[in-house]
Structure 1
Amino acid sequence: MSELTFKHKQAHYEKVRRSNYLASLRLAGFDTSPTDLEKPLSTREEALAKHRQDKIQRPS
């Protein structure tokens, strides 16, 4: 068996973290699918832009 490198360990950690995040979303009642594991996450800037756009469309 080959020795795990830092990159292998890092990739495994990212996959497990993503899986756990999707599991928590399912527990919170959000619809998720197994293909969501492969989709890239939004960047911080994209998330903020979406939030600002939604806030403008729905004034409080």
Structure 2
Amino acid sequence: MKQRITGALMATGLYLIIANLGNFFFGVNKRFDWTTTLWEAAFFFVFIFLLLGYRNNHKK
């Protein structure tokens, strides 16, 4: 469980950085605003957390 949470948090952090850089680079948002992607990252975290659990359960 701890490994799933750690993996999901790392993927979410990477997602937040890439999403904000992409928004800045493509002109969606001219300043770094973490709240614009925070909700997306929360849902991304849940998705990755569940995906890692599904993958671990069906490896056997």
Relative to the length of structure 2, the TM-score reads: 0.46
Comparing both structures, which one devotes a greater share of its residues to helix? 2
TM-score by length of 1: 0.46
Rg (Cα) greater in structure? 1
